[in-house]
Structure 1
C-alpha cells in the first residue's frame, strides 16, 4: 500500500508546532517523526544547512515532550573553545584556575531534569568529544576543581550543518559519539527545495515586521513568485532578514519585486533601485545565482567575511564552504 502523507492540520492536532511555518511534504514528514519521538527519551540529531530551522525543530521536540516543564538549555558548541569546555559544560568551583573567582554552574547542571540542545556539534574539538561521550555514556561528570562525581538526567538533542559521517571518515569526529547522538536523525530540507513554503514564510515575516514597525505591510503576488526563484543560501534565516530589511527600506505598504531586489542588492550608490542587478527568473542556474549573490555581497562589504556571512544568514564556516564550492577567493 502507498504511504499516505499526513496533513498539516492533522499534525497541529497531534502536537504544538506553532513556531514552524510550512506545509511542504518533506517538512511534514519531519514533523510527523517529531510528534512520534518527542514524548520518548530518544536522542535526536537534527541535520541541515545553516538557517533551515534546526533550532525550531529542537524547540518543538522539547515542547512536545514529557520534560516540557523542565529546563531547555541551548549550547552553541561552535562558540566554545576547547580550553573553556570543561568550565562551560560542567562548571567550576572557586579557585579551580587563576580567574575562577566564584563558583560557576555548568550547562549540564542547568539542564538537569530537562533537555540540553547541543548546536553545531560538528565543530566540537576531538579532545572535547571524549569528555562529552563520557557524560552521555555514564550520565555523570565532575565539576572542574572538585573531585566529587555528580549525576545528570538530561534528554540530548544535537544539531549540525555538516556531514558527520564524512567527519567520522576523515577522523575529525568520533564514531562512538555519533552513535550516541543519532538514534533518530531528522534532516531539514533547504529552502530552495521548499518553494511552496516561501510565500507562507515571507507573509509570516512581513506580519512580524508590520507589528514591530507599527505599519500596514503586505507583499504583492509578483514579488512572492520572484522570491520563489531565488537560491537562498542562508535559507529561512536569510528570507527573514530580507523581508525585515525590505520593510525598513521601502516606504510602500505593499512590497514589490523592486523593493526586495533593492534590499537584496544592498547597493551603496544613491538613486539605483538595484533591480537591474539581479537576473530575470529562470535565466541562471541556482548555483550561478547563489554564486552571484555571494560575490555581490563580498563587493558590497569589501570582503568583510563576518558582515557578508551575516547578510546571507550563514555562519562563517558555511560561507567558507561556499567559497570553496564556487572557487571564490576571499
Structure 2
C-alpha cells in the first residue's frame, strides 16, 4: 500500500490514479490526523508526502510530520513532493530521513520509477553471500577478488542494480569505480541500452553544456553542425559521470537542473528534450566535506547519492592481490602469446606487502610492465623490484600525524614531489597520481605550482 499525504484533492486523485494503474493499492490523508489514523490500521510500503499540506506554505508542517513518521516507522521509505522554490527545504527533508524528493510538476514515469526503487530498496535482503553465489546471480566477470569488503560491495551492486536509484561510487583513484559502474549497468534492466561514460575532470567549463547536452548549428563560432550530447546518447540507458567532485559550481547548477527535471536544452536551442537515463556518479573526493566548505552544492549531493558505494583501497583487501596478479598474467599470456608466464610464490608475498597508492590500476601496470621487460617466464621479487617506481617505497608508508597537515596540504606536497620526480612533465605526473591532466592542471593552478605544457 502507498500512502499519499496532501491536502489538495486534485493531487490526491491524480497520484491515486497513477499508482493504482501501476498495480499499487493507495490510501490518502490530508494531514497529521488522518495520517495517524491510517498508520494505526496498517503499515504502508511507501509514503508520498507533500511538503505543504496546509494553508501554511513554509513547509515546516511537512518536516514535522516527516520526523514523526521516521520515529514511528524508520524502515518505511518517504518520497517528498516539492516545488523548485522549496528545494532547500527538500534537502532538510533528506537530512531528516526522506529517501528521495520529486519536484512539481512531476513526470509520471519518473515518479513511478522512484516509488518502485524506494520500495525495492526498503525490502531487500542484506545477508552476506559467497562469491560463487554472487557469480551465479549476477555478471561480475571483470571484477576479481574474494575479500569480504569486496563481497559487500558486490552484494550491494546486486541489490540496487535492478532499480533506477542514482548511485554515487566513492574511493581512491585506481580502486575500480568504473568497473563497478559498468557492473551496475550490466545487471540492470537497461543492460541492452547504451552505457555512456563521461570524465567530468577532462571537460572544461566552457565545453560542459555542449559535451553533455549537445548543441545546434550556429550555437557558437565553431558549431558548424548539430551535435548530440552525452545525455541524449544515454537515453533509455545509463550515464556514468566520473570525477563529479571536479565539477565547477556553474556546471553543478546545470547538471542539477537536468537530474531534477529529466529535461535539457541543447546549447543554442530553446526546445527542451526529455531524457530517461540512470545516473551513476563517481569521485575520489570527500563530497560531504566539499558541501560543508561550500564548493559542492548540497542539493546536487543529495540528488546523486541515494545509494553510496564506498570502494575499499587495495591495501584494505591485500589478500586479493595474488588473485589479481594471476588474473592479469592469464590475460597477458593470451595477449602476448606467452603461455608459460608465471609468478613465484615469494613474489606474490612481496607484492601483498607493497604499498600501492595507485591501487588496482597501479598493480596491473606493474605486473604488465614487468612481464613485458623480463625475458624469463617466471617473475621474481627481483624482477618486480627493478620496475617499482622510486616514488613507491617498498617499506610501510609513514603518514603524518593526524592534525599536523590538512588534506589540501598533503595533496599539495604530493603533487610537488611528483612534479620534481617527473621533471614537470604533466602527463607523467597525472598518470603517476592516477588523475587526468585536466584535473592536475586545476590543482596546479589552485596551489600556485608553476608548470609548462608537455611537448
TM-score, normalising length: structure 2: 0.63
Q: Does 1:186 align with 2:309?
A: yes
Q: Does 1:226 align with 2:350?
A: yes
Report the alpha carbon displacement of residue 300 of structure 1 after superposing the two structures with TM: 5.4
Report the alpha carbon displacement of residue 309 of structure 1 after superposing the two structures with TM: 3.4
Aligned to 2:387: 263
Report the alpha carbon displacement of residue 249 of structure 1 after superposing the two structures with TM: 1.0
CA deviation string 1:264-285 (max 9, x = no partner): 1479xxxxxxxxx965xxx544
Q: Which of the numbers 57, 72, 82 marks the counterpart of 2:195?
A: 72
CA contact (8 A) 1:54 1:188 kept: yes
- Return the index of the structure with the highest Cα Rg: 2
Aligned to 1:217: 341
Say which SS state the counterpart of residue 162 (structure 1) adopts. coil
Report the alpha carbon displacement of residue 82 of structure 1 after superposing the two structures with TM: 1.1
Q: How far apart, CA to CA, are the structure 1 residues paired with 2:361 and 2:130? A: 25
Report the alpha carbon displacement of residue 145 of structure 1 after superposing the two structures with TM: 1.2
The 5 A counterparts of 1:1-150 are 5-150=128-273
Q: How far apart, CA to CA, are the structure 2 residues paired with 1:224 and 1:308? A: 28
Report the alpha carbon displacement of residue 156 of structure 1 after superposing the two structures with TM: 0.5
Aligned to 1:309: 430
Q: Does 1:165 align with 2:279?
A: no
Q: How far apart, CA to CA, are the structure 2 residues paired with 1:261 and 1:297? A: 20
Q: Does 1:247 align with 2:371?
A: yes
CA contact (8 A) 2:201 2:436 kept: no
CA contact (8 A) 1:50 1:315 kept: no
- In terms of mean alpha carbon deviation, does 214-223 or 50-59 score higher? 214-223
Q: Which of the numbers 297, 315, 329 marks the counterpart of 1:174?
A: 297
Say which SS state the counterpart of residue 388 (structure 2) adopts. helix
Aligned to 2:327: 204
TM-score, normalising length: structure 1: 0.86
Say which SS state the counterpart of residue 92 (structure 1) adopts. coil
- In terms of mean alpha carbon deviation, does 215-224 or 55-64 score higher? 215-224
CA deviation string 1:68-115 (max 9, x = no partner): 000000110111111111111111111111100011000111000110
Say which SS state the counterpart of residue 158 (structure 2) adopts. helix
Higher relative contact order (CA 8 A, sep 6+): 1
Q: How far apart, CA to CA, are the structure 2 residues paired with 1:72 and 1:233? A: 29
Report the alpha carbon displacement of residue 313 of structure 1 after superposing the two structures with TM: 4.0
Q: How far apart, CA to CA, are the structure 1 residues paired with 2:137 and 2:420? A: 48
CA contact (8 A) 2:165 2:278 kept: yes
Q: How far apart, CA to CA, are the structure 1 residues paired with 2:276 and 2:235? A: 5
Gaps of 5+ in 1: 268-276, 322-327
Q: How far apart, CA to CA, are the structure 2 residues paired with 1:259 and 1:278? A: 16
